[in-house]
Amino acid sequence: MSKKVYIFLADGFEDIEGLTVVDLLRRAGIDIKTVSIKETTQIQTSHGITMLTDTTFAETDFTDADMLVLPGGMPGTKYLAAYKPLTVLLT
């Protein structure tokens, strides 16, 4: 049975907290998707590295999720907490 993990990223997430999870789960063969809470897939880490996520929140269906990951880092965690569609998904 294949597992599905969504990793939510916002500008200012801590590089190691977000990308280590991506690296380890992909090495384990787990199907993961990085998800931007912005309208675009372009995200900037807390250390100023610009990266692209696999998808955006608005274009993703999370009904097949086995796990949801919210990396730490400032101000990324504040943006995740303030993003109403995510907080609704988590409740």
Confidence class of residue 63 from pLDDT cuts 50, 70 and 90? very high
DSSP structure class, residue 59: G
| Domain ranges across the chain | 4-90
* Spatial distance between the Cα atoms of 61 and 86, rounded to a whole number of angstroms: 12
Predicted pLDDT at 3: 84
* Spatial distance between the Cα atoms of 18 and 8, rounded to a whole number of angstroms: 8
Domain 4-90 has CATH 3.40.50.880: yes
Q: Looking up tokens 């789960």, which residue turns up?
A: 25
Q: What percentage of the chain reaches a pLDDT higher than 70?
A: 99
pLDDT in tens, 10-47: 999 999 999 999 999 999 999 999 999 999 999 999 99
Confidence class of residue 2 from pLDDT cuts 50, 70 and 90? confident
Predicted model pTM: 0.91
Single-letter code of the amino acid located at 44? Q
Answer yes or no: are the C-beta atoms of 45 and 15 closer than 8 Å. yes
